């Protein structure tokens, strides 16, 4: 994967925390920041997918795709947040047809 240099202005306290993590993990600051951003992006995608699903603007499979999860992982994520499944008879019919075609 190609890498690109990105500059950011951060509070000194945050820089100190990044340096401490880098020392403890025995990696460079770029690795710490890359891991932190990867985690943030994954959580951001999940939150957007959950919001879309809860609002009814995304189906369960679409929300799972947006979050980068399997449908079962998405069901688990929704359950952990106590979000009720939005599944009706029409959804069941569509799923049964999909299974027949597989």
Instruction: Report yes or no: 83 and 67 within 8 Å, Cβ to Cβ.
Output: no
Residue 93: both structure tokens together: 């019919």
Where exactly are the structural domains of the chain?
12-101
What separation, in Å, do the N-terminal and C-terminal C-alpha atoms of the chain show? 35
- Average pLDDT of 76-80? 95
Inter-axis angle of helices 12-25 and 29-55, to 10 degrees? Answer: 110
Query: In terms of pLDDT, which residue wins out, 23 or 96?
Result: 23
Specify the pTM. 0.78
Residue 81: both structure tokens together: 């947040």
Question: What percent of the chain has pLDDT above 70?
Answer: 94
Taking CB atoms within 8 Å and a gap of at least 24, the contacts of 34-42 are: 42/68
Summarised one tens digit per residue, pLDDT across range 38-47 is 999 999 999 9
């Amino acid at each position: 994967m190609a890498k690109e240099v990105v500059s950011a202005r951060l509070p000194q306290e945050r820089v100190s925390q990044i340096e401490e993590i880098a020392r403890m993990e025995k990696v460079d600051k770029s690795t710490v920041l890359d891991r932190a951003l990867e985690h943030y992006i994954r959580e951001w995608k999940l939150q957007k997918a959950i919001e879309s699903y809860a609002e009814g603007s995304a189906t369960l499979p679409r929300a799972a795709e947006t979050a980068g999860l399997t449908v079962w992982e998405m069901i688990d994520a929704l359950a952990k947040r106590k979000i009720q499944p939005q599944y009706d008879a029409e959804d069941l019919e569509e799923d049964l047809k999909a299974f027949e075609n597989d």
